[in-house]
Chains A and B, each alone.
Chain A
Amino acid sequence: MSPLLIFVLIPLLMMIALFFTNNRKQVNLISLSGSLLLLLSAIALVVLFWRERTAGNTAQMLFAADTVWYREFNIHIATGVDGISVLMVLLSAIIVFTASLVSWRIESMPKEFYTWFSFLAAGAFGFFISIDLFTMFFFLEMSVVPKFLLIGVWGSGRKDYSAMKLVLMLMGGSVLVLTGILGIYYLTGAETLNIVELAHKNIEQPAQSILFALLFTGFGIIGALFPFHVWVPDGHSSAPTSVSMFLSGISMKLGAYGAFRVAICLLPEGAHQLAWIFLILSGFSVVYGAFAALGQSDLKYINAYASISHCGLMFFAFLIFNETALTGAFLQMISHGLITALFFACIGMIYSRTHTRLVSEMGGLMKVMPFIGVGFIIAGLASLGLPGFSGFVAEMTIFIGAFQNSGELQRWFTIFATASIVITAVYILRVVGKVLYGKQEHQAYDSLADAYWWERVTMITLIAAVVLVGTMPSWFSNMIQDGLAPLVAGLVK
């Protein structure tokens, strides 16, 4: 057994423990201690990983383990981590920890809520530690199904519609992914599903391009790539706060991670062949998402479209195929995960107090809830790419990397994508100005409470992480480059 499986085991144990709880206090205790344990394990993993590396361990995947699961089809549970997956585990742990805290006082059925949430977490962690296509797919699916219940039962607004739409679309993505995985499996000789080994095998053209299209589209749906993003706005806005945080903080990253690890790394020729299509789509979605965000009036919709814009940048950077842009893409994954979680957390806090998310019905909230207000402003400034926060580092790395590409298309689209920094500033400042500043006109809002301790911990954790990435980017980019180093040779042409 791999020591990494502890990240799957803890959430599963939490589920069992939650089964025996019978009041909110116990539920809270378990969810807090479990998610804290996950966070500490993730930090420990980072430290251990880095110690191994400095000790001179140069294996591509560390802490790797391989257990045969089903011999007939040669299916394994193979786990292992490189610099990139370590960071993804850390990101997931931070999001899971803060998302569990945010729902501290969830009203209905806390036990069931946290049970399914833990199941979701187990899927996400499992996905990031897997180095076997079958295991990856298994965990990917694990993190889809609970969303239906979490949104359908604990959501708000048109929750049935949104839950159905989200799950159907994600399932649709999974179908494409599965087809692609099976294609890879058979075309490489049906010997292994281990991605490290598969990377050395070659698939003939045009099969490679077809498989790439299937896989990239499949993961693109999960990662909200235009025009497959339609589940995002409805899904996020109907989901309860912690699920929104999970959805855009982790779920969309599953798609991006898969798109890189599986589609691009295993099918580099196909990737080069078809890059231009997806480059145009993703470059377009950066600006498209930003404009769409500008036209919204519901806070969650605004952030959902902002996510589409920011995630588009991630896919865009993948398809530039140089180390700088790829580093930027993963920085953007981390950065966007943290910032959007902070945003959704603040929106959730405001919503739980004012019972509206419409920008037009708010105003002057800064006076009433300064702590949440400052958190919201920081989220906004980080999102619009202010230096000192993670967003700036990630975006700039992508822009610089992308512009180093000698292709005309790449450079023109980079310039096009940079326009998003202005549009983002417009929609963020517009929201901040309307929601927090100005006169507070609603009598009923006067008595609203500022952040409670669990909300403060949530915000402070996320802000600290955002600032850490923003001020010490080389710690993170070194980790990412550690993961990229063995892969990049096969990608850069």
Chain B
Amino acid sequence: MQYTLLILLLPLLSFVVLGLMDTKWKARVAGSVGTLVLSVVAALSYYTAWAYFSTANVGGIYQKIVPLQTVWMQFSGQLHIDLGILLDPISVMMLVVISTVSLMVHIYSLAYMKGEKGFERYYAFLSLFTFSMLGLVVATNIFQMYIFWELVGVSSYLLIGFYYTKPEAVAASKKAFIVTRFADLGFLIGILILSFYTQTFDFGVLNSGNAGIFASASGVTFMGASVLSWAMALIFIGGAGKSAMFPLHIWLPDAMEGPTPVSALIHAATMVVAGVYLVARLFPVYVTYTPDVLHGIAYVGAFTSLFAAVIACTQTDIKRVLAFSTISQIGYMMVGLGVSGYGGHEGTGYMASMFHLFTHAMFKALLFLGAGSVIHAVHSNEMQKMGGLRKYMPVTHLVFLIGCLAIAGIFPLSGFFSKDEILAATYMYSTGLGIGMSFIAGLTAFYMFRLYFNIFWGKENSYEHSPHESPLAMTIPLVVLAFFSFFGGLIPFGKFVTSDGAAYTGETNYVLAIVSVLIGITGILLAAAMYRKKTMLPDRVSQSLGFIYQLARNKFYVDELYLFITKNVFFKGMASPVSWYDRHVVNGSVNGLAVVTQWVSVKIKGIQTGKVQQYAWVFLLGTLLMAFLILFL
């Protein structure tokens, strides 16, 4: 399966060519080249998936295949960084997800970004991102993952800051990069600690279940936790940064300053789930050696999920609602992993989390692209500027509705199946957590339909020119994604992707399923009551909630807190004093040395008076002193 290398090389090549050509090619040519390359990549990915799932199953267990591997950097001792391709159920699934969404975004952007300055640059960056993301998921070792992890970060930076003359976009891109870099610091230190004790970066070795690898770390503790827990927790921080877990989530809502298709690709479907993927990749280590960290992951995920869902209910910028919804859903996936055990029925959470990753990628990309279609039509992100659009944009309306139903977990759409499995796993783990997650599911249905009704129903706004349906290049990807969002749940996912590679056999918990759907419907009905027609009800509700509403509307002031810390601690508390110290104390002491030297020389040059008598006196005194010293000492 060495042809899989092409899946990586083609987007890279496309990036280099488009980047070098820049404006020498016409925009249309650049766009077509990028899209064409991506369709080849997608075809190859599908073929790989088909080939893998039909051949790699040996004895009922899906094997890990490494078709290519080369040593990139050899260090002394056993450590080396390899570059290679690892095919196993989750990486193959990710190949499909990434290439599908990326292809849809490429096609969609042909129309959406038409006429934008820097169209060629946009496609070059999209290719770079696709390359990095694909490289990340097929990484054979943790360091390769880190390499592509950073590349993904920079492509995200470049794409968020695509409109570089817009100050908000520049600030948002900077914020995204720095916050995730900060998290990556944890990732890096985690890798260093892990590699120090295990002497390997290789996933195959780390996940092999051979306890001897971790032998040298056993018994080593630091501040009450085992050193392995520290390493795995630090690695998770890296994942939490990319996946926008609280309190590292602050970059994601701002990242919406980027072009909408970019938000769909990077900040909804692919990059932001990298953290989930990372935990899934190292899952055997987490579950066997550091279950304490895994519990932590479950609670971080659950809290983030609730936190973001509450905020999502109050936002008015449609892209920000979707952004918070993404954070909330990724929290769901983290919970899935956190509550999971290894293998068999215990491993429900793992399977469900990966399943949800898959379905979420489809319906969230759909929702973002749908939102883009709406924004394209009304030239605004604000809910208040919309309303009654279902008449003008029938296709967008329909697919958006599908997306909303899917995320709300309504049977038989895809979201129902994956979310239900996560809930089942959570209830198995802890009833309390399960109830919390069910509540979040209700919130999700509520805020999504708040969004839906505000855009497509409600009072019709007076539009400057009447909105119209988007061109085919935009609606076709929407329809394709809607298809996957609708039917994606019917895939027998448990047969393919499980924690131990063996097919999953579990029974559906019908009571739970029915209750979940009812909760979803309740959320929808509530939203319908409040937003289907323009009433005073929403205002009254928000007023009665008063303080809490204000908190949520202002995102619990986490951004302000960060701003305060960076401004006062980082800049005023560290950078300014250090520069002052350097200029005045360190530099000053050198200048002081020069001044002292000068002063001494000015003072002692007076001794040389030129008076012979004086010299004679000094000479005489000196001789006497020496004679004295020689005689008496």
Contacts and interface: CB of A to CB of B under 8 A. Distances in A.
B188 A418 contact: yes
A426 B150 contact: no
Given A169-B590, A439-B167, A324 B174 contact: no
Nearest to B76: A323
A294 B74 contact: no
B251 to A, nearest CB: 13
B576 interface: yes
Given A397-B75, A403-B196, A436-B164, A295 B150 contact: no
A418 B189 contact: yes
Q: Which of A430, A433, A439, A473 has the most CB of B within 10 A?
A: A433
Nearest to B579: A295
Contacts of B164: 366, 436-438
B75 A291 contact: no
B76 A322 contact: yes
A385 B170 CA distance: 20
Given A292-B578, A364-B165, A421-B188, A474 B73 contact: yes
A477 B151 contact: no
Nearest to A295: B579
Interface stretch (B178-186, B253-261, B440-448, B515-523): B178-186
Interface residues of A, number: 57
Contacts of A381: 154
A473 B75 contact: no
Contacts of B170: 433, 437-438
Contacts of A419: 185
Interface residues of B, number: 48
Contact of B151 (A229, A388, A404, A481): A388
A288 interface: yes
Contact of B579 (A292, A396, A411): A292
B181 A433 contact: no
A230 B586 contact: yes
Contacts of A425: 177-178, 181
A399 B188 contact: yes
A411 B227 CA distance: 14
Nearest to B73: A473
Contacts of A439: 165, 167
B590 A386 contact: no
Tell me the dominant secondary structure on chain A's binding face: helix
A415 interface: yes
Contacts of B580: 295
A168 B171 CA distance: 43
Contacts of A295: 571, 575-576, 578-580
Nearest to B169: A437
Contacts of B148: 387
Contacts of A222: none
Interface in B50-87: 71-77, 79
A422 B185 contact: yes
Contacts of B76: 322-324, 327, 401, 481
B79 A324 contact: yes
A354 interface: no
Interface string A310-327: 000000000000111001
Interface in A355-408: 364, 366-367, 381, 385-388, 392-393, 396-397, 399-401, 403-404
B189 A387 contact: no
A296 interface: yes
A-B residue pairs, 4 tightest by C-beta: A295-B579, A294-B575, A323-B76, A295-B575
Given A415-B192, A433-B170, A439-B167, 5 more contacts: A165-B594, A288-B582, A387-B150, A473-B72, A474-B71
Interface of B: 71-77, 79, 143, 147-148, 150-151, 154, 157, 161, 164-165, 167, 170-171, 173-174, 177-178, 181-182, 184-185, 188-189, 192-193, 195-196, 570-571, 574-576, 578-580, 582, 586-587, 590, 594
